[in-house]
Structure 1
Amino acid sequence: MNIIDELKWRGAVNQTTDEAALHDLTDKKQIGLYCGVDPTGDSLHIGHLIPFMMLKRFQLAGHHPVIVIGGGTGSIGDPSGKNSERKLQTMEQVHHNEDALSEQMHRLFGTENFRIVNNYDWLSKFSLLAFLRDYGKLFNVNTMLNKEVVASRLEVGISFTEFTYQILQSVDFLHLYQHEDVQLQIGGADQWGNITAGIDLIHKIEGPDAPAFALTIPLMLKADGTKFGKTAGGAIWLDPEKTSPYEFYQFWLNQDDRDVVKYLKYFTFLSQDEIADLAEKVKTAPEKREAQRRLAAEVTSFVHGPEAVKQAEHISAALFSGDVKALTAAEIEQGFADVPSMTVTSAAENIVEWLVATKIEPSKRQAREDVTNGAITVNGDRIRDLDFTLDPKAAFDGRYVLVRRGKKRYFLAHVTD
Structure 2
Amino acid sequence: MTLHMIEAGKPETKLKSEALQVLLERGLVHQCTDLEALDKTLSEGPVTAYAGFDATAGSLHVGHLMPLMTLRWLQRLGHRPIVVLGGGTSQVGDPSFRNETRPLLEQRQIAANIAGIRRSVERLVDMSGPDGALLVDNAEWLNEFKFLEFLRDYGSQFTVNRMMSFDSVRSRLDAHVPLTVLEFCYMMLQAVDFLELARRHDCSLQIGGSDQWGNIVNGVELGRKGDGRQLFGLTVPLLTTASGSKMGKTSAGAVWLHPEQLSPFGFWQFWRNTADADVPRFLRLFTELPINEVNRLSALEGSELNEAKKILATQVTSIVHGPEDARVALEQGDALFSGSEDLAEPTHHMGLNRLANGLGLLEVIVATGFAISNGEARRLVEAGGVRLNGQIVDDPRRQIASGDLRARDRLALAVGKRRKALVAFE
**Structure 1 residues 110-119 or 156-165, which shifts more?**
110-119
Give the TM-score of the pair, scaled to structure 1. Answer: 0.80
Q: Partner residue of 1:267?
A: 286
**Structure 1 residues 156-165 or 97-106, which shifts more?**
97-106
Alpha carbons of structure 1 residues 409 and 211: separation in structure 2 relative to 1, 3 Å: closer
**Residue 14 of structure 1 pairs with residue 30 of structure 2:** yes
> Aligned pair count?
367
Counterpart Cα distance in 1 of 2:158 and 2:388: 69
1:326 to partner: Cα distance: 7.2
Q: Is the 8 A contact 1:342 1:414 kept in 2?
A: no
1:236 to partner: Cα distance: 0.7
Alpha carbons of structure 1 residues 391 and 14: separation in structure 2 relative to 1, 3 Å: closer
Structure 2 regions of 5+ residues with no counterpart? Answer: 1-16, 351-359, 365-380, 392-400
Counterpart Cα distance in 1 of 2:413 and 2:218: 59
Q: Partner residue of 1:191?
A: 212
1:291 to partner: Cα distance: 1.5
Q: Is the 8 A contact 1:13 1:216 kept in 2?
A: yes
Q: Partner residue of 1:51?
A: 67
Q: Is the 8 A contact 2:56 2:113 kept in 1?
A: yes
Q: Partner residue of 1:235?
A: 254
**Residue 33 of structure 1 pairs with residue 52 of structure 2:** no
Q: Is the 8 A contact 2:271 2:313 kept in 1?
A: yes
Q: 1:296 aligns with which of 307, 313, 331?
A: 313
AA aligned to 1:6 is V
Q: Is the 8 A contact 1:379 1:395 kept in 2?
A: no
Structure 1 regions of 5+ residues with no counterpart? Answer: 344-360, 363-375, 381-389
Alpha carbons of structure 1 residues 405 and 3: separation in structure 2 relative to 1, 3 Å: closer
Counterpart Cα distance in 2 of 1:143 and 1:303: 39
Give the TM-score of the pair, scaled to structure 2. Answer: 0.79
Q: Partner residue of 2:179?
A: 158
Counterpart Cα distance in 2 of 1:177 and 1:313: 42
Alpha carbons of structure 1 residues 130 and 260: separation in structure 2 relative to 1, 3 Å: same
Counterpart Cα distance in 2 of 1:183 and 1:43: 27
Cα-Cα RMSD: 3.1
Q: Partner residue of 1:312?
A: 329
Query: What secondary structure is seen at the aligned counterpart in 2 of 1:52?
Result: helix
Alpha carbons of structure 1 residues 270 and 134: separation in structure 2 relative to 1, 3 Å: same
**Residue 176 of structure 1 pairs with residue 197 of structure 2:** yes
AA aligned to 1:289 is N
1:181 to partner: Cα distance: 1.0
1:254 to partner: Cα distance: 0.8
Alpha carbons of structure 1 residues 396 and 159: separation in structure 2 relative to 1, 3 Å: same
1:109 to partner: Cα distance: 1.5
AA aligned to 2:247 is F
Q: 1:96 aligns with which of 112, 133, 149?
A: 112
Counterpart Cα distance in 1 of 2:135 and 2:421: 44
AA aligned to 1:293 is K
1:280 to partner: Cα distance: 1.7
**Residues 342-388 of structure 1: CA deviation (Å, up to 9, x unaligned):** 89xxxxxxxxxxxxxxxxx99xxxxxxxxxxxxx99689xxxxxxxx
Q: Is the 8 A contact 1:377 1:405 kept in 2?
A: no
**Residue 81 of structure 1 pairs with residue 97 of structure 2:** yes
**Residue 396 of structure 1 pairs with residue 407 of structure 2:** yes
1:151 to partner: Cα distance: 1.5
Q: Partner residue of 1:346?
A: none
Q: Partner residue of 2:152?
A: 133
Q: Is the 8 A contact 2:50 2:203 kept in 1?
A: yes
Counterpart Cα distance in 2 of 1:76 and 1:22: 31
1:130 to partner: Cα distance: 0.5
Alpha carbons of structure 1 residues 404 and 114: separation in structure 2 relative to 1, 3 Å: closer
**Residue 105 of structure 1 pairs with residue 115 of structure 2:** no
1:317 to partner: Cα distance: 2.5
Counterpart Cα distance in 2 of 1:9 and 1:2: 10
Alpha carbons of structure 1 residues 341 and 409: separation in structure 2 relative to 1, 3 Å: farther
Alpha carbons of structure 1 residues 288 and 160: separation in structure 2 relative to 1, 3 Å: closer
Q: Is the 8 A contact 1:342 1:412 kept in 2?
A: no
AA aligned to 1:160 is V
Counterpart Cα distance in 1 of 2:416 and 2:227: 71
Aligned residue runs from structure 1 range 235-384, under 5 A: 235-282=254-301, 285-321=302-338, 323=340, 327-328=344-345, 330-331=346-347, 340=361
Counterpart Cα distance in 2 of 1:408 and 1:253: 10
Q: Is the 8 A contact 2:61 2:255 kept in 1?
A: yes
Q: Partner residue of 1:373?
A: none
Alpha carbons of structure 1 residues 410 and 87: separation in structure 2 relative to 1, 3 Å: closer
Counterpart Cα distance in 2 of 1:256 and 1:401: 29
Counterpart Cα distance in 1 of 2:283 and 2:328: 21
Query: What secondary structure is seen at the aligned counterpart in 1 of 2:253?
Result: coil
Query: What secondary structure is seen at the aligned counterpart in 2 of 1:86?
Result: coil
**Residues 303-329 of structure 1: CA deviation (Å, up to 9, x unaligned):** 11111122112222333445556724x
AA aligned to 1:38 is D
Alpha carbons of structure 1 residues 78 and 286: separation in structure 2 relative to 1, 3 Å: same
Counterpart Cα distance in 2 of 1:189 and 1:413: 38
Counterpart Cα distance in 1 of 2:63 and 2:199: 29
Counterpart Cα distance in 1 of 2:86 and 2:419: 46
AA aligned to 1:301 is S
Counterpart Cα distance in 1 of 2:239 and 2:297: 21
Percent of aligned pairs sharing the same letter: 40
Counterpart Cα distance in 2 of 1:406 and 1:20: 52
